Each structure stands twice: as C-alpha cells, then as structure tokens.
Amino acid sequence: MKTKVKWGVIGSGGIALRRTMPEGIIPACNAELVAVYDINRAINEEVAWRFRVKAAAGEDQVLDSGIDAVYVATPADLHHGQVLRCAAARKHVLCEKPLGMTVGEAGEMLRACEAAGVQLGTAFMMRFHSRHQAARRMIEEGKLGKPVYGRAQLSCWYPPIEGAWRQQPARGGGGSLIDMGGHCIDLLEMFFGPVVQVSCFINNSVHAYAPEDSAVAMLSFENGALGTVDTFFCIPDEASENVVELYGSRGSIIARGTIGQGAEGHMVARLKQAEEAYDAQQGRQTGGFISIDPAPINTYRAEIEEFSQALLDGRPSVLAGKSGLRSQMVLTACYNSGRTGRAVNVAGASAAPA
C-alpha cells in the first residue's frame, strides 16, 4: 500500500524555498520531494542540490518525473496556465493563492482538474494554526454564543522593490488586499461562515507603486455577523500584532501574532456560560480570561500532510480548490466595492466555504 505522495515543485524559489519545502514537504510523514523547477536556473540547481532531488529544466520535466502531485508557487499570473498543464498531465495540484487572477480563471482551473480526475487544492495554510483550530472548535461547540463580529489583520512593510511581481497589478492581481487579505477572509469564513456582502476601501497611503498598499474590507456574513479585514503594505512589521478578534453573545476569543507564516502567537478567551441580563453599571473586570495554548503546529507541514493524506485515502482535501474559487469571488466583490464606493454582494454567496 502506498504511504507517500511524490511531489514536484514549480517555482522553487520564494515561499517554496523559505517555507513549504523545508518545513512542509521534506519533514512530512507522507510526502517525498522528487523534482523542482524555477525560471531562475541558478536558484533551482541550488535548491535541487540542497534537497538532493532532480533539477528539472522545465515544467514538462517536472511533470514527467514520476510524481503524483505538484506544488505551484509561482507569481499569481502564471497559476492558471500551470495548473491547466498539470491537469492535462493528470497530476494533482496544490496551488498558492490566489487561484488564478480572476473568478473565471479559478473556475476554469477547478473544472480542468475535475475533468482530469485530479484534486486541486488552494494553499490556505493559516487554517492549520493550532490556535485557529482551537477557536474553530470552540465556536462550533457554541462557547462563543451567537457570532457577532470578527476581525483579521495582516500587515507588513513592503517598500518599492524593482521587479517585484506583487507590485505589478498585471502579475499579482492587486496589492495588500489580494496578497494578504485572502488569508484573512478565508479565516473569518472558517470561523463564521460565508460572507454575503462587502464594503471596501483601498488606498496608496505611503507607497507610490501601482497596486494598493492599504485596504480595509467590511464584511457581512450570512449568519448575521459583521467583520473587518485590514491589510497594509505600509506599516512596519514590528508595529502590527496581526490579530484575530472574534466576538459573540457569550464573550470573545482574541489572538495576537497567529496570522502569519509561523506557529507562534497568543490567544485568550473571555466567555460566559450563558447570555446575561443587562448591567446598568457596565462593570468590566480586567481578568477572568483563559489562555488557549494548544501544542504548536507547523502550518506548512500540516498543509502538505493533509493534502497528501487526502490523495492517499482517495477523499477530498479540506484545501479543495473550491475554497480558492470562493476566495476570488469575495476578493472580486471587495475590489469592485473599492472602485465604486458602494457595498457589493458576493457572487455565489450562499455557497458555504470549504
């Protein structure tokens, strides 16, 4: 019985080299790295030497190297064509977000993989953070009460860099909103369910490159909860706590430092056993919280092991490509709102997120 999925990587530099290969594919108990390809030949050969795998001269060599699945970690404008080629070769694909540049591209990628009988996954690894999973379980168990409001924040300092594809709308699809807000929206939908309407503001507050360096999206969820996502490329790394705030009729769950690429962070909950009567004094105690401290999990390893195990078991992965399509629908509504200055309904809003 097969126990490991053989992986190839297209786009072996960047996030694949920094995180997904050394922290995800290499240590995963059910994965094996076989071949890598990057347009930068020198980097690709160095990566192949480091991990003792095949340095492919092109995408076709990766697909012909006896692999089962491909991790696509290239600039966003290349995702569509590369996923279609992987599907044509009948290889499963885990693609970095965003899934294509548009809703149309994401839908075509998903249909191509379905027609080929292979799985398409979207790399929303932040779902696997142990504190995010703990919060999800608490909400599902009703401990937060009726969801009322959620906030997710992700900011960094990203100054103008010559040749940076994320600073070119034709390559990245946008700026801070699509690059970081996709993760934040996905997390809030994991906690509260689908977003049905958005109102969004986008701006270039500091940097003069073409895409936005600032974005705030206000969200209305199908269950009646409200939310905000704020993402900035113009706030120093040390200044932003990258918070998750979840409020309900029985209290709150608040995390700092859990949104990002690491497994660190802190989370506390202030919860009541039941909804209480009105207190005219509105007395607020500063204590009374509980720390939520599950064992840390490397989100990249968890992501690879989940997708690999789904392939081995023959079941749909929780990272199913429909989550990437869903993300594009919400993001498209946000950008439309930012351009028009109006609230915008989310296409397919009644579809529950993956």
Give pLDDT tens digits for 37-67. 999 999 999 999 999 999 999 999 999 999 9
pLDDT score, position 286: 57
Homologous superfamily assigned to 5-125: NAD(P)-binding Rossmann-like Domain (3.40.50.720)
Mean pLDDT of the chain: 94
pTM value?
Answer: 0.93
Mean pLDDT of the region 326-349:
92
Q: What is the gyration radius of the CA atoms in the chain, in angstroms?
A: 21
Cis bond before residue 98 (omega within 30° of 0): yes
- Nearest Cα to 206, choosing from 236, 237, 163? 236
The CATH number fitting domain 129-300+328-345, selected from 3.30.110.30, 3.40.50.300, 3.30.360.10, 3.30.930.10 = 3.30.360.10
Mean pLDDT of the region 8-26:
97
Residue 185, CA distances (Å) to 193, 277, 305, 330 in order: 10, 33, 23, 8
Residue boundaries of the structural domains of the chain: 5-125, 129-300+328-345
CA 208 from chain center: how many Å?
Answer: 26
Q: Check pLDDT > 90 for residue 5.
A: yes
Q: Which residue has the higher pLDDT, 284 or 17?
A: 17
